[in-house]
Amino acid sequence: MASDSIHPSPVSYELRGKVLLVTIDNPPVNALGVDVRRGLAAAIEHADATDAVEAVLLVGAGRNFIAGADIREFGKPPQPPALPDVCNRIEACRKPVIAAIHGAALGGGLEVALGAHYRLAVPGAKLGLPEVQLGLLPGAGGTQRTPRLIGAEAALSLILSGRHASAQEALKLGLVDRVGASDDVLAEGLAYAQELLAAHAPVRRTRDAQGLADRESAQAAIAAARTDTAKKSRGLFSPMKIVDCVEAALNAASNNAFDDGLRFERKQFLECLDSPQRAGLVHAFFAEREVQKAPETKSATPRAINTIGVIGGGTMGAGIAVAALDAGLPVTMIERDDASLARGRAHVEKVYDGLIAKGRMTADAKAQVLARYTGSTSYDALAQTDLVIEAVFEEMSVKQAVFAELDRVCKPGAVLATNTSYLDIDAIAASVSRPQDVVGLHFFSPANIMKLLEVVVPKQVTADVVATAFELAKKMRKVPVRAGVCDGFIGNRLLAVYRAAADHVMEDGASPYQIDKAVRDFGFPMGPYQVIDLAGGDIGWASRKRRAATRDPNARYVQIADRLCERSWFGQKTGRGFYLYPEGARTGTPDPEVVAIIAAERERAGIKPRSFTDEEIIRRYMAAMINEGANVVHEKIALRPLDVDVTLLYGYGFPRYRGGPMKYADMVGLANVLADIREFAKEDPLFWRPSPLIVELVERGANFASLDQSA
Ligand code: 3H9
């Protein structure tokens, strides 16, 4: 075995007969860090310089071929050799180079394979160019070689979606030459290399492939992708550049000028690399992995979860039941009577019937899933259940009554979870004889679809119960965020504050329609008033009435939403709310009567309306969100700023390319956010109180990211 550096290189090579076996071993995923790039280039030099070598086989050690460029190097000074040069060097090798792919060959990993002359994938492999999801484009020849190999249309579809193709699909597309019979990548790769040698297979460079020979159809595919991208990728920087790069590939192919295409790609790639969207998306990538590593997941072993109980068959309970069924778990649902139980089951079935109607599930598959579902009106059916999630009415006495029953019937060691969105879980836990087993699992509606799961950690819970909650999240493919107990936990606590900021702006002069549009233009899929109309205005109204008694009488309270609710204008379901929904329409139209109600409310409150630019609206909306996010971190409700980011990204539609509110704050500059808050405080010092954490960080010249790293 050889390696070309003083430190052991992550790339090693050894001769196996006439084949130089080059192994990339850079855990955890063989990312193409500088040492890997150096090692690969050195291995190819060695192959060219050594007579005994007749072919080269590239394989990855561990679970993957290569997961791509090392994302951690982005934003740092570049170190040679650059990946495009490495791919060119592989392609220029005078002896056939074969890539044998298992696990992930993604991004730069696939580009390395495209630099090789032959490609084999084993059945479990997944291949793709997911750079777009990081705000990038394939920057090591991927936009040039892929269309030459598989045609413009297929290449654009792969690169613009960032999806992973299976080995079989890759074979069909022509991305690989062969799918091995087994998952033994080394044996399959060596056998293929021997076969190619025996057949005197020539060096075959992807840059010479003819996938763009039909110029007309390539042009049509590019034009179609351009139109589609303009429509679908609103606000995103890299997708249109991808289309431009594929067009450059076509022009270069027509002029026999491959290197021109590469140069064009490089320029576009570097622009993407410098973009704030890349910074936001890479932050999101790491943050969603960091949140999984709560302290309890390291210190404790999760309890075994083989059966789930769900209390309550309403929308939330049914959604949770479906999430558990989809995770392969048997579910027992408890309701108070047969009629409610039947309704709960109908809610569950409706989800699967919807899938059948869309052709995404067969009736047989539904029957198989429902074979794991049982319902009962007796809590005794939960005697052997490992984990129970309560999703009943949001009222402390109702919840405590349920927990008393669970305390009575559940086996020792069963995890008792509540799906409350704001009630005091410490108080729920204190009402049972086993508070150490009580945890919060705050799902978001629809619970079988929304990825966020707040794992709410009350005072007395044991670490293994928290670890169990994280394990359940993994089984359900949710993104878990650890939260402490407070009113609203992380997400709803921020929501209450930034919605209040929007209400203030509305009462001061902006229309709900302008606010919604400004928020959508910022990148959210919907504005706050559209969301209220969709969810039902009555929900917020009920909680406002409940809190009326404890509200600070000096705090500003905007009554506009109450005026609409008093008219039973609860949004979409009643045909009108902030918007009008004539004849069941799903998108609302502005309502002049609402505008008149707002005007009357301004008058009642003695407010002389003024105008706001969209930018002013967003500054207030974001400052409110960031300030409360900082409070939540300061009070240790959230472990780190990145936990706040992931909560907003996965539960509240925050635009992923901005990385989350805390990342956004770092990008606009925390000192600027603080200056805004202080400015707004001149009008309303009670609402705009700078978070002590922001003040402290600005004084130290630090940012939120410094807390992410030190946690
Ligand atoms: C690119 O290639 C640009 C080029 O076109 C041009 C260059 C010039 N780098 O996800 P997991 C870490 S852009 C560094 O939990 P899984 C990850 O953070 C790149 N680190 O495992 C985690 O670390 P930790 C295009 C990386 O089995 C650990 O590995 N490629 C990278 O569920 C395990 O990851 C992509 O976008 C990386 N590239 O999934 C692929 N990838 O243990 C991104 C992962 O400290 N990666 N890590 O938390 C993935 O999609 C998944 O990681 C993968 C494995 C499917 C490979």
What is the three-class DSSP state of 671? helix
Strands 126-128 and 104-106, how do they pair? Answer: parallel
- Dist. CA 36 → ligand 1 center (Å): 15
Query: Does pLDDT of 43 surpass 50?
Result: yes
Q: What pLDDT band is residue 543 in, cutting at 50, 70 and 90?
A: confident
Residue 101 structure tokens: 């792919």
Cβ 115 under 6 angstroms from ligand 1: no
Percent of the chain whose predicted confidence (pLDDT) is above 90 = 93
Mean pLDDT of 222-231: 97
Q: Which residues contact 606 (CB under 8 A, 6 or more apart)?
A: none
Distance of CA 272 to the CA centre of its chain: 20
Mean pLDDT of 535-556: 89
Cβ 71 under 6 angstroms from ligand 1: yes
Cβ 533 under 6 angstroms from ligand 1: no
In this prediction, residue 433 carries a pLDDT of 98
- CATH classification (class only), 11-273: alpha beta
Task: Return the CATH fold of 305-488.
Answer: Rossmann fold (3.40.50)
Q: Report the nearest-CA residue for atom 56 of ligand 1.
A: 67
Cβ 324 under 6 angstroms from ligand 1: no
Q: Which residues contact 241 (CB under 8 A, 6 or more apart)?
A: 137, 268, 271, 272
Q: How far is 245 from 703, CA to CA, in rounded Å?
A: 36
Given the CA of residue 290, which atom of ligand 1 is nearest to it? 48
Q: What pLDDT band is residue 7 in, cutting at 50, 70 and 90?
A: low
What is the tens place of the pLDDT at every residue in 561-591? 999 999 999 999 999 999 999 988 889 999 9
Q: Let me know if 131 is a catalytic residue.
A: yes
- Dist. CA 559 → ligand 1 center (Å): 48
Percent of the chain whose predicted confidence (pLDDT) is above 70 = 99
**C-beta of residue 564 within 8 angstroms of C-beta of residue 597:** yes
Cβ 153 under 6 angstroms from ligand 1: no
What is the tens place of the pLDDT at every residue in 55-99? 999 999 999 999 999 999 998 899 999 999 999 999 999 999 999
Place of tokens 């009920």: 542
- Dist. CA 72 → ligand 1 center (Å): 9
Cβ 351 under 6 angstroms from ligand 1: no
Given the CA of residue 106, which atom of ligand 1 is nearest to it? 30
Cβ 138 under 6 angstroms from ligand 1: yes
Beta bridge partners of 390: 311, 418
What is the tens place of the pLDDT at every residue in 635-654? 999 999 999 999 999 999 99
Cβ 665 under 6 angstroms from ligand 1: no
Residue 512 structure tokens: 């709900």
Cβ 29 under 6 angstroms from ligand 1: yes
Query: Does pLDDT of 688 surpass 60?
Result: yes
Q: What pLDDT band is residue 195 in, cutting at 50, 70 and 90?
A: very high
Beta bridge partners of 568: none
Q: How far is 518 from 668, CA to CA, in rounded Å?
A: 18
Q: Report the nearest-CA residue for atom 49 of ligand 1.
A: 67
- Dist. CA 705 → ligand 1 center (Å): 20
Query: Does pLDDT of 5 surpass 50?
Result: no
Q: How many other CB atoms are found less than 10 A from the CB of residue 643?
A: 28
What is the tens place of the pLDDT at every residue in 410-435? 999 999 999 998 889 999 999 999 99
**C-beta of residue 707 within 8 angstroms of C-beta of residue 634:** no
- Dist. CA 161 → ligand 1 center (Å): 17
Q: How far is 16 from 185, CA to CA, in rounded Å?
A: 15
- Dist. CA 289 → ligand 1 center (Å): 10
206-210, 225-229, 252-256, 259-263, range with the lowest pLDDT: 252-256
Cβ 36 under 6 angstroms from ligand 1: no
HSE-CB at 545 with a 13 A cutoff on CA atoms is 11
- Pick the catalytic residue from 14, 45, 91, 131: 131
Given the CA of residue 137, which atom of ligand 1 is nearest to it? 5
Region class of 359: left (phi > 0), else alpha (psi between -120 and 50), else beta: left
In this prediction, residue 3 carries a pLDDT of 45
Q: How far is 292 from 467, CA to CA, in rounded Å?
A: 10
Angle at 306 between CA 300 and CA 311, to 5 degrees: 100
What is the tens place of the pLDDT at every residue in 283-329? 999 999 999 999 999 999 999 999 999 999 999 999 999 999 999 99
Cβ 312 under 6 angstroms from ligand 1: no
Mutational pocket test of ligand 1: of 30, 71, 242, the residue with most ligand atoms within 8 Å of the beta carbon = 71
What is the three-class DSSP state of 481? strand
What is the tens place of the pLDDT at every residue in 370-400? 999 999 999 999 999 999 999 998 889 999 9
In this prediction, residue 8 carries a pLDDT of 84
Q: How far is 610 from 507, CA to CA, in rounded Å?
A: 10
Query: Does pLDDT of 256 surpass 90?
Result: no
43-52, 394-403, 514-523, 656-665, range with the lowest pLDDT: 394-403
Query: Does pLDDT of 685 surpass 90?
Result: yes
Mean pLDDT of 204-229: 97
Q: Report the nearest-CA residue for atom 32 of ligand 1.
A: 289
Given the CA of residue 130, which atom of ligand 1 is nearest to it? 36
What is the tens place of the pLDDT at every residue in 345-378? 999 999 999 999 999 999 999 999 999 999 999 9
Cβ 139 under 6 angstroms from ligand 1: yes
Q: Which residues contact 21 (CB under 8 A, 6 or more apart)?
A: 13, 14, 15, 57, 59, 186, 190
Cβ 68 under 6 angstroms from ligand 1: yes
- Dist. CA 67 → ligand 1 center (Å): 5
- Dist. CA 456 → ligand 1 center (Å): 28
Beta bridge partners of 118: 98
Give the 3-state secondary structure of 522-590: HCCCCCHHHHHHHHCHHHHHHHHHHHHHHCCCCCCCCCHHHHHHHCCCCEHHHCECCEECHHHCCCCEE
In this prediction, residue 547 carries a pLDDT of 84
Mean pLDDT of 436-450: 96
Place of tokens 């504050």: 497
Domain ranges of the chain: 11-273, 305-488, 492-553+608-710
Cβ 130 under 6 angstroms from ligand 1: yes
Given the CA of residue 68, which atom of ligand 1 is nearest to it? 2
Cβ 112 under 6 angstroms from ligand 1: no
Beta bridge partners of 417: 389, 439
Given the CA of residue 134, which atom of ligand 1 is nearest to it? 36
Cβ 72 under 6 angstroms from ligand 1: yes
Query: Does pLDDT of 2 surpass 80?
Result: no
- Dist. CA 68 → ligand 1 center (Å): 7
Cβ 265 under 6 angstroms from ligand 1: no
- Dist. CA 162 → ligand 1 center (Å): 13
Strands 97-101 and 118-121, how do they pair? Answer: parallel
Q: How far is 580 from 601, CA to CA, in rounded Å?
A: 19
Given the CA of residue 70, which atom of ligand 1 is nearest to it? 9
Q: Which residues contact 155 (CB under 8 A, 6 or more apart)?
A: 143, 146, 147, 149, 211, 246
Phi then psi dihedrals of residue 75, to 5 deg = 85, -10
CA dihedral 372, 378, 383, 388 (to 10 degrees): 70
Average pLDDT over the chain, rounded to an integer: 96
- Dist. CA 143 → ligand 1 center (Å): 20
Q: Let me know if 45 is a catalytic residue.
A: no
In this prediction the pTM is 0.95
Element (H, E) at 438: strand 438-443
Q: How far is 283 from 498, CA to CA, in rounded Å?
A: 23
Q: Dump the DSSP string for 47-76.
A: HHH-TT--EEEEEESTT-SB--B-GGGTTS
* Nearest by Cα to 453 from 425, 422, 427, 491: 491
Given the CA of residue 63, which atom of ligand 1 is nearest to it? 27
- CATH classification (class only), 492-553+608-710: mainly alpha
Given the CA of residue 285, which atom of ligand 1 is nearest to it? 18
**C-beta of residue 340 within 8 angstroms of C-beta of residue 392:** no
* Nearest by Cα to 627 from 456, 493, 452, 480: 493
- Pick the catalytic residue from 111, 153, 288, 471: 111
In this prediction, residue 539 carries a pLDDT of 81
Query: Does pLDDT of 4 surpass 50?
Result: no
Mean pLDDT of 452-472: 98
Angle at 206 between CA 79 and CA 71, to 5 degrees: 30
Q: What pLDDT band is residue 255 in, cutting at 50, 70 and 90?
A: confident
Q: Report the nearest-CA residue for atom 6 of ligand 1.
A: 139
Given the CA of residue 289, which atom of ligand 1 is nearest to it? 48
- Dist. CA 138 → ligand 1 center (Å): 14
- Dist. CA 29 → ligand 1 center (Å): 6
Cβ 105 under 6 angstroms from ligand 1: no
Cβ 131 under 6 angstroms from ligand 1: yes
